[in-house]
Amino acid sequence: MNPIKVLFVSSEVAPFIKVGGLADVVGALPRTLVGQNCDARVILPLYKKIKQSQASRLRFMGWRMVKMGWRSLYAGLYSMELDGVTYYFIDNEYYFNYDQVYLEYAFDIERYCFFQRAVLDFIGDFMQFEPDVLHCNDWQTGMMPLLLEAHYKSYGLHMNIKTVFTIHNLKYQGIHGAEIIKDLLDLSDRYLTPELSLKDGAVNFMKAGIVYANSVTTVSQTYAYEIMTDYYGEGLNTTLQRYAFKVSGILNGIDDKEFDPSTDKYIPTVFSYPDYEEGKAQCKEATQRKLGLSVNPGAPLCVMISRLVDQKGLDLLLRVLEEMLFDGMQVVILGTGDTFYEQALTEIAKKNPEKMCACISYDNALAHTLYAGADIYLMPSLFEPCGLSQMIAMSYGTIPIARETGGLKDTVIPYNEYTGQGNGFTFTNINAHEFLFVTKYACDLYRHYKDVWAGLVKNAMLGDYSWDKSANEYAGLYSLITGIQLEGNSSAGSANDINLDIIEIPGDASEIEITVGPTAETAVKPADKPADKPAARPTAKQAAKPDDASAAKSSPKTKKETSPSKTAAAAAGKAVSDTVKPASDKKTAPTIKSKKIVKDDKEAK
């Protein structure tokens, strides 16, 4: 049987061009899908960097004029193959011949309007590839499901193409004036309404993708629930609630070939489980020497590799950073971002040169060394759609400390001192001292309970963070919306057996709750505490202090309520619609114990 043909559309794709995690996802997922009975291909802009680095490998396929308002602009199509995947590139030097990927916001809107129109003009005979599924990613491709309906399906073209729209980060939505977008994309007023693509009077690319796509996915199951709430919904929560019948969460994976401590060419000494201790110790010592830290194997080395923005919890870190250093921890920060955070971290590092290093840059080789040499990885994010760093860190035996949100909650299992289960440490609230006390608890285990720490490292390093499971779920989703059966590959799902967590809204959609506390499994404690185990981690009540006012102020208030249910999309054609339609009529569903995020704490954003 013929494979399902999938065309990924993205503004960035590793290894060609990378700004954030989107590039890693679209770079790795198609390669894995090739082994799941899918013909997965990728299309992206031909940026200046790609044209220079891949000039000898690019094959020119042809060109055509793309209509953009009153203008017709040149668009060239190039292709190349890498690791069994075909990549296509849209060429236009006016829009893409720059050193940076993203430029000025208004111009970016115009650039990606052109990109989306060019992709749709090329698919089919010109590209010699008619996909069964058009997989769009983030706002830069959010208008494509609408454009496909307005300019092609309405005229009997590309009638069998289904669309998937993946939300990697709801915060960035692609918003611009309706009159300009109407002109650039040649859209009639019937498509520019508050029900379909307008938000607060402006065209919202993200909203259009949610409304018009056959299926909407997010990059973790918890994030799929979170974005239904006022606090995390970024103004689109009511739209997502309305179309919850086609929203599902599929967790990202990591490139286990690039991030493999047994073969990593960037780290001083390779290692693997169970023979990791010597190699990891050598990586730690090399990191300390390279960054000018005190060479002390007993000092917990805590690292953070991140964009320096408020989303990543930098305010929480800055509030307690000097107390962490006073407690004997060493801290290394690698990344760039807001000037305020860069300067604040640099000043603290200058005062503590043997305990802290602020590397205000991005160095891929150093990042690999930090993952390998660190003991603890810090991730106190305010929100995190999925997060890849915590999975990369765990694959190197570095234990994450993360806030329970989005993909962090789905991947970091908090240590249970009574069962020994867990691969990291977590805290619930946006509270600086809760973060601090959990970090101190982890450091206490590292220093004084070597067997406990070894168990955490074992659980972390033996975890499966590859794309195999996620690719299997995506393949099943493609089968579900197209009706094409996946045969000849026993590892892939099918339209009859795929089990996706489709979000279903019971009753009044204005009250949506999410789980923000510990799960039942991690909360269970026996009556008698073994005497030879370490002291229990502090509770949230113990962690709260009077001087937490500014940090606690940004934490959403919680109270017990019921939660949105989740159902399995087991029946093909029912959970995911081929056309825009209202939400499901179902009113009841199983509930889970949760805490409600209320909407009067807008300062937290």
Given a contact cutoff of 8 angstroms between Cβ atoms, the answer to whether 414 and 339 are in contact is no
Superfamily of domain 4-249: Glycogen Phosphorylase B; (3.40.50.2000)
Q: What is the pLDDT of residue 458?
A: 97
Write the pLDDT tens digit of every residue in 305-349. Answer: 999 999 999 999 999 999 999 999 999 999 999 999 999 999 999
Range(s) of the chain covered by CATH 3.40.50.2000: 4-249, 277-461
Domain covering 277-461 assigned CATH 1.10.510.10 in the classification = no
Paired sense of beta strands 38-45 and 162-167, if any: unpaired
CB hemisphere CA count around 469 (13 angstroms): 13
Picking from 414, 409, 463, 431, the residue whose alpha carbon sits closest to that of residue 543 is 431
Q: What is the pLDDT of residue 503?
A: 52
For the chain, residues with pLDDT lower than 70 are 1, 487-605
Q: What is the pLDDT of residue 391?
A: 96
∠ CA 126-100-83, rounded to 5°:
50
Going across the sheet that includes 425-427, the strands are 356-359, 330-334, 301-305, 376-379, 399-403, 425-427
Q: What is the pLDDT of residue 35?
A: 84
Q: What is the pLDDT of residue 53?
A: 94
C-alpha separations of 352 from 325, 329, 510 in Å? 8, 11, 49
Tell the residue number behind the tokens 């503004």, with chain if given: 11
